[in-house]
Amino acid sequence: MLQAVLRAIQLPDLRRRILFTLGMLLIFRLIAHIPVPNINPASLQQLQDALANNQLAQLLNIFAGGALQNFSVAAMGVYPYITASIIMQLLQPLIPALQELSKEGEQGRIKMNRYQMWLTIPLAYLQAYGQTMTLERTVNPTNVIASSLFRSSFDIVSNFLPTFTILTSMVAGTMLLVWLGEQINERGIGQGISVIIFGGIVSRLPGMIVQGFQVSQAGGVSTIIGVIGFVSIALLTIIGIVLIQEGQRRIPVQYAKRVRGNKVYGGQSSHIPLKVNMAGMIPLIFAQSIIIFPGIIASWFYQVNGEGIGNAIAGFFYTTFNPTGQSGGVIYMALLFLLTVGFTYFYTIVLFSQQDIPDSLQRNGGFIPGIRPGKKTEEYLGRVLNRITLVGALFLGIVAILPFLTQTITGLQLGLGSTALLIVVGVAIDTMRQLESQLIMRDYEGFLSK
């Protein structure tokens, strides 16, 4: 692998692509430290303390690469763009015009990407307002200017221009990161948006390593054993992610011979690769966002020493949908596991239906040996997909609750999120494959050949 990396660096065009990607990541890290206008630097420490107790904010901070804790212009990361892409994928089976557009090749892809960009902007404004308002209420519950995140009140009605400036700067930061991702797609290596998220997560690894050493030195022999156990579980999880991400069921396909004029087409054999985890990281994001949302809403109304039925209901939701609540730990993990499994099946079915494999096989004269084309092929592929997706769904469910299990086993919580780990491994594999394909084109051995 090291020899392949050296060969890739020695090739001028690949070296330019690698350096360009690293340059875009450097720009991203610089943007992540540019604060929004009107920020109050004295409240940033209170913001970091608030993030430590807010599961949803921690999830958003992962996608922002730590920019949320600095409240920079990149505080939302590329999450609005990811939300827009998910919405567009879900709308394709429902809107015939979008479904036809997705089949028009490169021109259709360009138009779909344009619609996705337009959808990202209003979603980014909505997320910027909701996210900032939530953090402002958390840091400044008494609505005192001295304790606010900003030098003036964050109110879109009574203080429109400063508030709108803050929101616009955050939206501009998100769109700039999306543009950097598009540049990586065209001139760099890897899938641009994923590489941006990958760079943000990896930038936090040195801090996690330092935190692990500090904890082990302060806690004695038992804590050192806990750190070793934590690292061992992380390594086993990485191995499992690689195996599941690369796992696939190959369905054999035979193409019938067709004669056109003096030429004979078809007759060759191929296969359909059905991945064990076709949905990727999306089910984890869905499940975590939905299960955290009720607890966040309930926290606005719940008071520890409050009275009344309203406060009791808010307290029930707050403790149930909070992994650190008195009665919510086990229920939270069970719901997270079930939601992850359910969303894995749902999103896999959506993606598989968009590919329209049975119809494509029938149009091109392909068939699965022993299976009739058309409806029978669709039913057969559906049965196979359901069986192999069960393995991927259960694995994603385990990965979703793994941080809580790891904390119970080792007694440590060093910030190793399951979603972050899945993103890092997935992006690393995808980038290695792209480099491999570039090397194979130049008669070099690829990364994954040995």
CB-based burial, 136-156: b 16+ in 10 Å, e otherwise? bebbbeeeeeeebbbeeebee
The predicted structure's pLDDT at residue 450: 47
| Each residue's pLDDT tens digit, 292-320 | 777 667 766 766 666 778 777 877 777 77
Asked if 21 and 159 sit in the same domain, the reply is yes
> Does a structural domain hold residue 247?
yes
pLDDT tier for residue 330 given thresholds of 50, 70 and 90: confident
Arithmetic mean of pLDDT, 125-137: 82
pLDDT above 50 (res 422): yes
Asked if 334 and 445 sit in the same domain, the reply is no
- Tell me the percentage of the chain whose pLDDT exceeds 70: 82
| Each residue's pLDDT tens digit, 27-76 | 998 998 888 888 888 777 777 777 766 656 666 776 676 778 788 898 88
Asked if 316 and 436 sit in the same domain, the reply is no
Mean pLDDT, the chain, as a whole number?
Answer: 79
> Does a structural domain hold residue 374?
yes
Written as one string, the DSSP assignment of 357-409 is: HHHHHHHTTEE-TTS-TTHHHHHHHHHHHHHHHHHHHHHHHHHHHHHHHHHHH
Cα gap 148→105, rounded to integer Å? 50
The CATH number of residue 143's host domain is 1.10.3370.10
Asked if 170 and 24 sit in the same domain, the reply is yes
The predicted structure's pLDDT at residue 215: 60
Asked if 195 and 312 sit in the same domain, the reply is no
The predicted structure's pLDDT at residue 23: 92
Cα gap 434→225, rounded to integer Å? 39
pLDDT tier for residue 376 given thresholds of 50, 70 and 90: confident
Asked if 112 and 150 sit in the same domain, the reply is yes
The predicted structure's pLDDT at residue 362: 76
> Does a structural domain hold residue 169?
yes
The predicted structure's pLDDT at residue 118: 92
pLDDT tier for residue 439 given thresholds of 50, 70 and 90: confident
> Does a structural domain hold residue 212?
no
Asked if 398 and 439 sit in the same domain, the reply is no
Of 5-14, 116-125, 438-447, minimum mean pLDDT range? 438-447
| Each residue's pLDDT tens digit, 142-166 | 777 777 788 888 878 888 888 899 9
- Domain with 371 in it: 227-416
Alpha helix ranges (H) inside 67-104:
67-70, 79-91, 96-101
The predicted structure's pLDDT at residue 211: 64
**119 against 440, higher pLDDT:** 119
Asked if 44 and 125 sit in the same domain, the reply is yes
Arithmetic mean of pLDDT, 19-29: 91
Query: Based on the structure, what is the number of domains in the chain?
Result: 2
Asked if 311 and 264 sit in the same domain, the reply is yes
The predicted structure's pLDDT at residue 300: 65
> Does a structural domain hold residue 217?
no
Cα gap 381→376, rounded to integer Å? 9
Asked if 257 and 373 sit in the same domain, the reply is yes
pTM for the structure as a whole: 0.78
Asked if 74 and 47 sit in the same domain, the reply is yes
